[in-house]
Structure 1
Amino acid sequence: MELTDWKSALPPVFNRLCEEIQVMDVIIEWVDIIFEQIGTASKCPPHAHTWFEFNYVLTGRLDTHFGGDSICVQANEFFLIPPGMVHSHTYTKGNPHEGLCFRWRIRRADGGEENVPGGSLYARLFRLQKWKPGSYRDEAGFGAMLIHFLREAALQRSELGLQLLLVGLLEQLCTLQQSMEGQSGLTRTYQDPLVRKVEIYLEDYQGGRLSVAELAASLHMSYGHLSRQYKKLTGHTIVERMNQIRLEKAAELLRLPDALVSESAEQAGFADLSYFSRAFKKRYGQSPLSYRKEQLRLPIEEAGE
C-alpha cells in the first residue's frame, strides 16, 4: 500500500485511536493523529497549544519559525513542539510538504509513583517539555517506526496494539532527549539554509587543512561574504565550527576501548598532537587521555599525557 492509499484509508483508524491510554504511571491522551497536507495554504500564523506535537516530513519541505529563529524542514526530518512554545509555519510554493503529525497530552495516573519498575515513564515524557527547538535528521529510525505503524494500521490491528506502537515512538523521543542533554551525537539540522549547507560540507569533509575559499566557491559565494554571513548567523567562524566537529569526532573515537590518543587525533583531522591536546582540554576540561580513562574507567595505558 502506497502513501496515497494510506492517506485515503487510515484517517478513520487514526480517529479511533484518539483517546486516553494508561501505561505504567502515566495517562497519555492522543489528541490528534493525522496526515499533514497544506492544500492551498501559504502559511500558518504564530500560535501555541497545550499539547505536544511531533511532525515528521515525508516529502517536500516547509519552514518553521520558533520566535525569531527559522528552520528549513525537509523530507526525513522531524521536529517536536512542546506545550506553550510559540511557533509558525511557512509553506513552499511548488514544493508542498506531506507528513505525519501526532499530538498528545500527559498526566500522572492516580496513585502513580515515580519509583516504579524501570523508572517513571511520566517523568521521562514530562522532560520532553525541555526539548530544544529545531529540525532533526532521522538518525534514530523514526521513519521505519512510522512505516511499521502505518502498515499495522492498514491491517486493522487492535487499537491498543497501535497505541502502544505510538508509545514506543514517544519512548524513543525520550532516549533522544537524554542523548541531546548528554551531547552524545544527536544531529540537529541548523536554522538557516546557508548554515545547513555549510554544516553538511563540514561534516562530510575528510581533508586535512580546511579551505574556506574552496567551500565558498562550492556555494557560488565569495570568501568574505560567506565568512561574514556564517559568523552573523551562528556567532562563530567556519574554522571554529570545523574544529568543534573534529573535537566531537575525536571524543567519539576516544570512547572506543582500544583507542590511542595519537590515532584518534589523526583520524579526527588534527595533524598537530600538541594543538589537539590543548584544544581538547579547552573544550572538555581535561586532557584526551584523562577523558578516555574517565569514559571507559580504564587504567592509563599511554605515556605522554
Structure 2
Amino acid sequence: MVLSKSTTEPELTSDWPLSHKAVRYITPDSLTRQLSLHPLSQHCYPLGFGYYPQAKSHQMERHQHVDHLLIYCIAGEGELQTQQHQAAVSATTITVGDFVVLPRGLSHQYQACKTNPWSIYWVHFDGVLSDTYVQHLLPEPSTIKLSLGLHPELVAGFDTLVSLHQAAYQLNPLIYAANHLTQLLSLVAVIKPQLQAEHFDLQKVLSNMQKNIHGQLKLEQLAASVNLSKYHFCKRFKALTGHSPIQHFIHLKMQRACYLLDLTDQPISAVSHSLGYEDAYYFSRLFKRVIGIPPREYRKLKRG
C-alpha cells in the first residue's frame, strides 16, 4: 500500500480476526450525535476505542482522515507512514512506549510488525475542542510520535477507558468516557516535560529556589548549578515550566506569602521582609500583579 493514491478512494483495512483478549468499541451514530450536543461531552468525545494485543496482520490505510486518532504501543513494533497534502511520505517505526497522535486530515497507513506484532491501545475522537487538545500535545505539527515510555498511570488510564465498552450503548458511561479521555490527553501533556527534563535537573533548580526563598538568587547561581550558560539555562527552564526562572522564583515567593498571610498574624511588612523584600510597598505591588489582589485584601478574603 502507498499513500499516493487518489484521496477519493475508501480506506483499506486488513481482514483479521480479533483475539479473545482484544476489545473494539465503535460509538453508534445516535450516541455520537448526543455526545456532540451534550454540554458535558461535546468538547471532546470518543468515536471508538480498543485494545489489540499482539495484533498480527493488523494494518490500516486512510486517505481521508476525518477525526483524530491516538495509538499507544505497549509491546512489539509497527510501521507508520504519513503524508500531508503533496509532501513526501514520512515513515517511522513505532515501538514500545511510543504514543502516536494522527490529526484529522493527515493521510496515513500503519501495520503491525510481522515478526514482532504490536500491542496497542487506540482511540478515535472528535469534539469542538478536539483540535485544541491535539495542538496542545503537538505544538510542532511535524511531530506526531511522542516517545513516552511505559507509564503505569497512562496504561491504567487506557484500561479504564477500554473497560467502558462493557456498559454497551448507554449515554452516561460515554459521557464519563469523554471526560476520562480529556484526562488522558492532559496527562500526556504532563508527562512530556518530565521526559524533556531527563538531562536537566529541574528538581535541583527548584530545590535551590526553595532554599533561598527568604532571600535573593542570581541567574548565574542557578545556571551554574546545572552546568549551563545563562542563555541555555533560561531557554530550557522556560520550555519545561512555561515561565522564566525569575518569574517562577517570584511565584514561589508569592505562594509562600499566601501561606504566611493565611496562617499567621504577621504584619504585611514582616511577611515582605521574610521573603527578602525590604520595601513592603514594592512587595504589595508584586503580590497584586501575581495573585490579582493586594495582600491586605487577600488576608480578609481568605479569613471570610
**Map of 2:63 onto structure 1:** 47
Q: Does 1:258 align with 2:271?
A: no
Match of 1:135 in 2: 146
| Deviation readout 1:131-160 (Å, 9 max, x if unpaired) | 241133254822101222344544769552
Q: Which runs of 5+ in 2 are unaligned?
A: 1-17, 84-88, 254-274, 278-304
Query: Aligned residue for 1:112?
Result: none
Amino acid at match of 1:184: P
Distance 1:126 1:254, change over 3 A: same
TM-score normalised per structure 2 = 0.52
Partner of 1:284: 234
Structure 2 vs 1, CA of residues 245 and 171 (structure 1 numbering), >3 Å: closer, same or farther?
closer
Distance (whole Å) between structure 2 residues aligned to residue 287 and residue 147 of structure 1: 34
Q: Which residue of 1 aligns with 2:248?
A: 295
**Percentage identity across aligned positions?**
9
Give a deviation string over 1:108-143, Cα, whole Å, max 9, x none: xxxxxxxxxxxxxx3xx3313422411332548221
Aligned match of 2:281 = none
Cα distance in 1, alignment partners of residues 55 and 132 from structure 2: 30
Contact 2:77 2:93 in 1 (8 A): yes
1:6 Cα offset (Å):
4.2
2:47 to 31, 39, 50: 31
Cα distance change, pair 104–142 in 1 and its aligned pair in 2 (3 A):
same
Number of equivalences: 210
SS in 2 for 1:164: helix
Distance (whole Å) between structure 2 residues aligned to residue 152 and residue 78 of structure 1: 21
Alpha-carbon shift at residue 86 of structure 1 (Å): 3.1
Match of 1:105 in 2: 126
Give 1:166-245 correspondences, 5 Å limit: 166-174=178-186, 176-177=188-189, 179=190, 184-186=193-195
Q: Structure 2 CA distance, aligned partners of 1:70 and 1:5?
A: 31
For residue 283 of structure 1, report the CA deviation from its aligned partner. 4.3
**Partner residue in 2 for 1:74:** 95
1:140-159 alignment to 2 at 5 Å? 141-154=153-166, 158-159=170-171
Give 1:79 shift.
1.4
Residue in 2 aligned with 1:164? Answer: 176
The 1-side partners of 2:226 and 2:206 are apart by 20
One-letter code aligned to 2:183: E
Counterpart-to-counterpart distance in 2, 1:50 and 1:89: 17
- Superposed CA deviations along residues 169-223 of structure 1, whole A, max 9, x for unmatched, are 223314544x58xx73355xxxxxxxxxxxxxxxxxxxxxxxxxxxxxxxxxxxx
Residue 65 of structure 1 is aligned with which of 81, 86, 90? Answer: 81
The Cα offsets for residues 233-276 of structure 1, whole Å up to 9 and x where unpaired, read as xxxxxxxxxxx853x32x442123535789xx99xxx9xx4992
SS in 1 for 2:210: coil
* 1:300–1:294 CA distance, 2 compared to 1 (3 A): farther
Q: Which runs of 5 or more structure 1 residues have no equivalent in the other structure? A: 108-121, 188-243
The residue matched to 2:227 in structure 1 has which SS? helix
SS in 2 for 1:258: helix
The CA deviation at 1:44 is 4.4
SS of the residue 1:95 aligns to: coil
Instruction: Kindly report structure 1 stretches of 4+ aligned residues shifted beyond 6 Å.
Output: none
Q: Which has the larger radius of gyration?
A: 2
Residue 19 of structure 1 aligns with an amino acid whose one-letter code is T
Superposition RMSD on alpha carbons, in Å?
A: 4.4
What's the counterpart of residue 19 of structure 1? 32
Instruction: Determine if the alignment matches structure 1 residue 126 to structure 2 residue 131.
Output: yes
